[in-house]
């Protein structure tokens, strides 16, 4: 669990001149395009400042309303294509690497072939969004549905589906936020040249983005290129636990005979960053002046804390942050990888040319953040003695308290999220950010009375309000997820949804959970955010499926 803050307070009293100096450093790098030239030199000041900021905060803002947030702050919820659409063999869609992964048996027979059938039920889902009061909806486009060959001709049925969905959202006053890639690269490109392991992907991803900007950009203002490339690189190319399930022994978490964990995670993310910057360059040159939109990427973020109050664990914590977040953020800000990554990975991490470095710098209008929980970090420098190393060994830090394959609930600790967001602000120049994913995991079919999810959302939205008051440049918040989806690591065994999907019903009927009712009341500003203000016990729509939760 999280280290007791009082230990740090007693060990490290913070002089006021250090606070002022740190705040001065921060104020001089407020704009996302400006950054401190030597971010690592401020780590010492950073740790003291943020511990001081945390004192006195026991939880997120306790009582608040929608009106407490800026008028242009956006609240929404999200899904992704493979997790919600289904219809995988329908109307011209080709397979993606996610289809291949699930049908190879890694998900114990579960897959997204049907998922929530969002492909056919999008009108019903948009109606539920309107009833909930969503201001925005974050979803992804299936590259293989729009361009079945990965490039070349557009599939007219896929184009029609996304046009219909976007039009339906806009006509109902819901702002579309679109992600271009969410773990579902067309399998044809993986087969032809290795997908993200080849520089050819930069050309094809830019072509795909160009099609999306051209066809949908008159109605879509917010574009995310790749969802959490850091986790995609680790899961897909080091451990093999997610598409395209590449890894090499002894680093695999699965049985695999393809891949090389020693360098492929670095190579894949390298090409993702280059493809991202190419797409941003395209948008700014060809579309921004007439469409006035914004392009960014999304990173997965843990709140990381040292397991013990030792210099080794504190250094390991900073190294873990470099390897998880700096891996993406420092190239986008400074045009190069963190020093710790280059030092420990050596020639196994690719180098940017001067031209690539310049193109990367400032190649975002916003950063999306996917945040769920916190972990503790302890030093593992002994791993650097191994000649054969992967990403995890190069990190030389062990992550404690992380159980990716569990359906256990996350602890409700919004003050820890606030600390990490303050660190993000100070290290990376306070860029505009969207909380793209945040939500509570529960076992599937546990209860429509998802009190723990309400408490989690109540606390973390309050934490976001605290973050805004701290000057963190947050532009919006999206609950993960709108419906109970096919989840990346455990299929249908866990759920995050505001709405339950009855998979025993051929129509896949949706039912509101307590969290949907609570979020709706908050968004419509009808009440305070006190958990007990919403009840579902007497909701007549629940009678017919009550047997599922007995």
Whole-angstrom Cα distance, residue 408 to residue 430?
32
Phi then psi dihedrals of residue 356, to 5 deg:
-65, -40
- Both structure tokens of 544: 């017919």
- Both structure tokens of 47: 């740790």
Specify the DSSP class assigned to residue 183.
S
Residue carrying structure tokens 């030597």:
38
**Which residues are designated catalytic?**
228, 437
**pLDDT on residue 254:** 87
Residues 138-176: b if buried by 16+ CB within 10 A, e if exposed: bbbbbbbbbbbebbeeebeebbebbeebbebbeeeebbb
Whole-angstrom Cα distance, residue 414 to residue 396?
28
Whole-angstrom Cα distance, residue 37 to residue 333?
10
Per-residue pLDDT tens for 257-279?
A: 899 999 999 999 999 999 999 99
Strand 474-480 with 294-306, pairing: unpaired
- Both structure tokens of 393: 């060994």
Q: By C-alpha distance, which of 195, 208, 336, 182 is closest to 271?
A: 195
Per-residue pLDDT tens for 482-527?
A: 999 999 989 999 999 999 999 999 999 999 999 999 999 999 986 5
The answer to whether 221 and 291 are in contact (CB under 8 A) is yes
The answer to whether 437 and 372 are in contact (CB under 8 A) is yes
Whole-angstrom Cα distance, residue 536 to residue 56?
35
Residue 51, classified by CB atoms within 10 Å of its CB into exposed (0-12), middle (13-18) or buried (19+), is middle
**pLDDT on residue 543:** 41
What size, in residues, is the chain? Answer: 550
Q: By C-alpha distance, which of 231, 518, 273, 523 is closest to 370?
A: 231
- Both structure tokens of 462: 């309050």
Whole-angstrom Cα distance, residue 214 to residue 194?
27
Splitting the chain (550 residues) into consecutive groups of 10 residues, what average pLDDT does each group show?
Answer: 28 28 34 34 38 41 88 98 97 98 91 98 98 98 98 98 98 98 98 98 98 98 98 97 96 91 98 98 98 98 96 98 98 98 98 98 98 97 97 97 76 96 97 98 90 96 97 98 95 96 96 97 75 52 46
Specify the DSSP class assigned to residue 251.
S
Q: By C-alpha distance, which of 427, 474, 475 is closest to 29?
A: 427
The answer to whether 146 and 158 are in contact (CB under 8 A) is yes
**pLDDT on residue 378:** 98
**pLDDT on residue 55:** 36
The answer to whether 213 and 287 are in contact (CB under 8 A) is yes
**pLDDT on residue 74:** 98
Q: By C-alpha distance, which of 131, 127, 159 is closest to 146?
A: 159
> Which domains does the chain show, CATH number per domain?
66-528 (3.20.20.80)
Contacts of residue 483, defined as CB under 8 A and 6 or more positions apart, other chains included, come to: 79, 84, 116, 118, 125, 497, 498, 499, 501, 510
298 - beta bridge partners? 227, 368
The answer to whether 299 and 368 are in contact (CB under 8 A) is yes
138 - beta bridge partners? 78, 177
């Amino acid at each position: 669990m999280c280290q007791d803050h009082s230990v740090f307070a007693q060990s490290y009293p913070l002089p006021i001149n250090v606070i002022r100096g740190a705040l001065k450093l921060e104020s001089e790098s407020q704009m996302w395009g400006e950054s401190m030239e030597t971010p690592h030199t401020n780590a010492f000041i950073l740790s003291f400042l943020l511990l001081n900021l945390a004192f006195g905060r026991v939880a997120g803002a306790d009582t608040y309303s929608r009106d407490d947030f800026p008028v242009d702050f956006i609240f929404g919820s999200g899904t992704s294509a493979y997790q919600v659409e289904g219809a995988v063999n329908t109307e011209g869609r080709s397979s993606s690497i996610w289809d291949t992964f699930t049908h190879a048996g890694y998900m114990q027979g579960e897959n997204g072939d049907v998922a929530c059938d969002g492909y056919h039920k999008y009108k019903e889902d948009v109606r539920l969004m309107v009833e909930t009061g969503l201001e925005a909806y974050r979803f992804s486009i299936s590259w293989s549905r729009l361009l079945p060959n990965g490039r070349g001709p557009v599939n007219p049925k896929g184009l029609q589906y996304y046009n219909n969905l976007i039009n339906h959202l806009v006509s109902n006053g819901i702002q579309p936020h679109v992600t271009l890639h969410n773990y579902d690269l067309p399998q044809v490109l993986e087969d032809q040249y290795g997908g993200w392991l080849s520089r050819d992907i930069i050309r094809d991803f830019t072509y795909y983005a160009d099609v999306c900007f051209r066809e949908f950009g008159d109605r879509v203002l917010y574009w995310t290129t790749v969802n959490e490339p850091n986790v995609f690189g680790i899961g897909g190319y080091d451990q093999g636990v997610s598409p395209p399930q590449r890894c090499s022994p002894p680093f695999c978490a699965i049985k695999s005979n393809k891949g090389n964990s020693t360098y492929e995670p670095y190579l894949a993310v390298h090409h993702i960053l280059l493809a991202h910057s190419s797409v941003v360059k395209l948008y700014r040159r060809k579309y921004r002046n007439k469409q006035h939109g914004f392009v960014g990427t999304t990173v997965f973020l843990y709140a990381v804390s040292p397991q013990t109050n030792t210099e080794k664990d504190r250094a390991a914590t900073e190294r873990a942050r470099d390897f998880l977040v700096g891996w993406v953020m420092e190239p986008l800000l400074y045009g190069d990888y963190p020093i710790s990554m280059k030092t420990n990975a050596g020639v196994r991490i690719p180098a940017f040319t001067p031209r690539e470095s310049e193109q990367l710098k400032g190649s975002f209008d916003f950063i999306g953040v996917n945040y769920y929980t916190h972990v503790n970090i302890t030093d593992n420098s002994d791993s650097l003695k191994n000649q054969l190393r992967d990403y995890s060994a190069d990190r030389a830090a062990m992550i404690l308290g992380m159980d990716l394959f569990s359906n256990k609930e996350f602890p409700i600790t919004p003050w820890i999220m606030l600390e990490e967001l303050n660190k993000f602000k100070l290290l990376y120049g306070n860029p505009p950010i969207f909380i793209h994913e945040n939500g509570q995991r529960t076992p599937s079919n546990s209860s429509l009375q998802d009190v723990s999810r309400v408490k989690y959302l109540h606390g973390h939205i309050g934490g976001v309000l605290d973050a805004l008051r701290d000057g963190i440049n947050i532009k919006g918040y999206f609950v993960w997820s709108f419906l109970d989806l096919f989840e990346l690591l455990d299929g249908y065994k866990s759920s995050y949804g505001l709405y339950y999907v009855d998979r025993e019903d051929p129509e896949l009927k949706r039912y509101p959970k307590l969290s949907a009712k609570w979020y709706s009341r908050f968004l419509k500003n009808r009440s305070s955010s006190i958990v007990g203000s919403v009840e579902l016990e007497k909701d007549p729509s629940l009678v017919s499926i009550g047997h599922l939760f007995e």
